[in-house]
Structure formats: structure tokens, C-alpha cells
A and B are shown apart, each in its own frame.
Chain A
């Protein structure tokens, strides 16, 4: 089938963008999406004449002859940057889904505390156009998540591993870096090319929430797939610097990684973390190469006394 062939060719070219040993399995992700989209096509076959797409997408990826694409209807830029509004809507949808899987801890003091630390660290990122939201998730799983638009989540299980405010700042700094570096948006941009090919102009006009949901896949699965490992290494470097700029001792994140390196790799509570992130030892090694002696002179506070401990 011609469409399938064209899509496969696109997958091959897209897959070559990503790291060879990528932690994020882009190939599989795209495969899944193609299967979704092609099965969708069989149901919606009406293809009315369309206005020529005005974006660069028409020039960059000529759509297959039997497949009409209305990039405007898609509602999301294929090659340009996502707008702030789009970023917020994507982040809100992912976060709402994540919270459908695991709720927030009902502890106002804890949640306010994490928001105060998080906002102070986020202030050092230079990104001032978004509202940062931080939440502790009510699960003993050990993990943390970021979604576009400034949504940051830390699990109760990870929070319990922390010993002081500097470590919390380091973990939040890592997640804040995912947002400021737009790591998830870059992944979505790759998958949105496939999504665009599957969108048929004549299909029932979808509401914008549905379009966002189509973009991010099922539920919060994007959180289970993780990112390119280079994105994780970058978030470690950038996050560590954010925490140091906020006046914390810079070693909070490395200490958490040291603790993680000592956790059982096959544990129930770490399986998702280790599936979606490089091994802690590898992350420490990469940080070590990057930091060397550069932070020797940086003094900071660990604020162990102020750290809010959960019951």
C-alpha cells in the first residue's frame, strides 16, 4: 500500500534523527502511531478538496497523492515552534491524564513547600512566561515527571529519598530543565509529522482537546516512554546549575543520583524510572565529565533543617 510505504520511509528518516541507543524508543512510538493512524484512515475515506496548506510543511514533506492534509486544521505547527498557548494545552492534557493515573498527596503544607522551592529554582531558569505548577504524587513509585507549560511532578516515593532542600531543588531543577529545553515538545514535534499524515481534512471536526489528545497518544503514555537519553543528561547538567544559581549547594542532584544508584534495579518502585532514564551511574559519570572542577568554588546551602519531611 502506497500510503504505508510513504509512512515507513518517513519513519526511517525520522528514526535516523534520534540517538542510536535512545532511551526513548522513537521507532516503536512511530510504529504504534502509524498503526493507529492507518487504521483510522480506513474508517474515514471522504476527502474533500482542500485549501493549499500555508505552512512550510507542504514544501518540506509533500503529502502522498492519495492523502490530503490540512495543516491548519491540525491546529499545531509541524515545523515552527509550538505557541505558548499550544504548549500550555499540551502540558495540561498530559498532566490531567497523569493525575488520572495517580492523584496528588493531600497535604497542603507539603505541596505549598514544594511549590515555593520549585518556583524559586524556576526563577533561575529565565523562563518567565509560564505559571509553574508543582505537585507531589501519591505513589511510592520513585520517579519525577515534567510536562510542557511548567507542570512538574515528584512522587512521594522519590520525595522520601530526599534528605534536604538542596536535593529537592536538584530534582526539581532537572524537571524544570526538561520544560525550559522543551524536550517533550521536541518529541511531540517528531510524532506530529506522522499524526499530520494521518489527519484527513474531511474527518469530523475535532475539538481542540481531542486534537491535543491525538498528539500525545493514549492517556499519559508519553510519560512511560521517556526521552532521548541525551535529553536526560542535559537536564542533569542544566538542573544542577539552576539549583546552584538559586543558592543551594550544587551537589543535591548528584546525591540523589548516588542514592538511586544504590537502589535495586529490578524493584517494582524503580522499574519505570530505570526504563525511562539512563542508569544513575551513567548519569553521574556524564555529570562528572561536565562539572570537573567547575563548581569547586560554589558555596551553597543544603537547608536540611527547613526540609519538610512527610509522615
Chain B
């Protein structure tokens, strides 16, 4: 934890020292860039799908970005990490790099360990003792409600999200 603190601090210094180090991102859909992190603020400009941006900051569901000459706020779901291609380009934790909320070195630190694989899962033998262990941590509904209340979590009425319309192929999943 100490090492990760140090590197987070280093990262923080880098980011504040030079905004040129802002994380690169790619716009995933035609989207507006707003002057404030909310959609009722004035529109600062537009970003086209595929455009490159620099991510400077994050606030709630919004990222502060520079796209060409425009700097403003864009929805977090309209931008992904990295430039070009299909993503997963290994540029590191984009949101974290821009806001120091997480330390990408944690990922590198333990690389090289063998991961879970098909064969391991296929060969797995039933472990009853671990299931019993799992049961010892089960909590009741009342305990979960108390836990939520302690942090001031209250339920919010959020409607279900629609399935995106422009699906390339009709989803056979839903029709089964």
C-alpha cells in the first residue's frame, strides 16, 4: 500500500506539472461537449465518433476533455480509454491517470502470475468445505438494510434502461 501511495503521488505530480500527460481517449459516438458537467449547460462544441480527446478530469458521470480547440465536459460513457483501434490498447487506467483516483501500477505489480484457465476450471473438483465457509458470511436482509442506512444510502427510483436500438443483428437472446 505504501508503494502504491508513493506512485500515486508521483502520478499526481506529473499530471499537475504538465497537462500534456493527460490520458488519451476516443469518442465512441457523436456527442456534445458541454461547458459544465451537466446537459443543461451551454454546448461548447461537438465531438464526432472516432475523434481523439485528452481526458483532464472526472466528475460524476462526466469527463472534462479537450477535443481539438474545444475544452469541456462529455458523458463518461461516450469516451473510452486509448486511441484508435478497438480499445484495450494497454494505455493504462485512463480515468485514473487523469484524476489519480487509481494506480495502474497495481496491475503491473502482480503480472506474471498464472491466471485462471479453461483446463483448471474443467478439472475442478467439488469442494464442499469451501461452500460451507461461504455460508458463514451470508447476511440477512435486515443487516444489509442497516449497513446501507449507516452510510445514508437510500433507494432511488431508476427506470430500467432500454436495449440499444441500432443492434447489428437482432438479439436472439431475448426471444428464447
Contact = CB atoms under 8 A, between A and B. Distances in A.
Contacts of B160: 237-238, 241
B93 A228 contact: no
Interface in B97-117: 101-102, 104, 106-107, 110-117
A218 B107 contact: no
Interface stretch (B10-18, B64-72, B124-132): B124-132
A93 B126 contact: yes
A75 interface: no
A133 B156 contact: no
A120 B153 contact: yes
A101 B116 contact: yes
Nearest to A289: B164
B161 to A, nearest CB: 4
A241 B161 contact: yes
Interface stretch (A37-45, A49-57, A66-74, A268-276): A268-276
B81 interface: yes
A116 B144 contact: yes
A8 interface: no
A296 B80 contact: no
Contact of B125 (A18, A124, A134, A219): A219
B1 A115 contact: no
Chain B: interface secondary structure?
A: loop
Chain B interface size range: 35 or more
A268 B113 contact: yes
Interface in A224-259: 224, 228, 230-231, 233-234, 237-238, 240-241, 244-251, 254-255, 258-259
Given A116-B143, A133-B138, A259-B93, A288 B122 contact: no
A123 B140 CA distance: 11
A311 interface: yes
B136 to A, nearest CB: 8
A119 interface: yes
A139 B124 CA distance: 15
Interface string B135-176: 101111101110110011111111111111110010111101
Contact of B137 (A18, A111, A224): A111
A184 to B, nearest CB: 12
Interface in A286-308: 286-291, 293-296, 298, 300-301, 303, 306
Given A18-B172, A258-B94, A261-B82, A284 B145 contact: no
A92 B131 contact: yes
Most buried by A among B106, B113, B125, B131: B131
B96 interface: yes
A220 interface: yes
Given A155-B116, A230-B173, A241-B160, 9 more contacts: A100-B125, A115-B139, A224-B122, A249-B60, A259-B94, A263-B90, A265-B90, A268-B111, A290-B164
Interface of A: 17-21, 92-93, 95-104, 108, 111-112, 114-117, 119-120, 123-124, 131-135, 139-141, 143, 151, 155, 157, 160-161, 163, 165, 186, 190, 217-221, 223-224, 228, 230-231, 233-234, 237-238, 240-241, 244-251, 254-255, 258-259, 261-265, 267-272, 274, 279-282, 284-291, 293-296, 298, 300-301, 303, 306, 309, 311
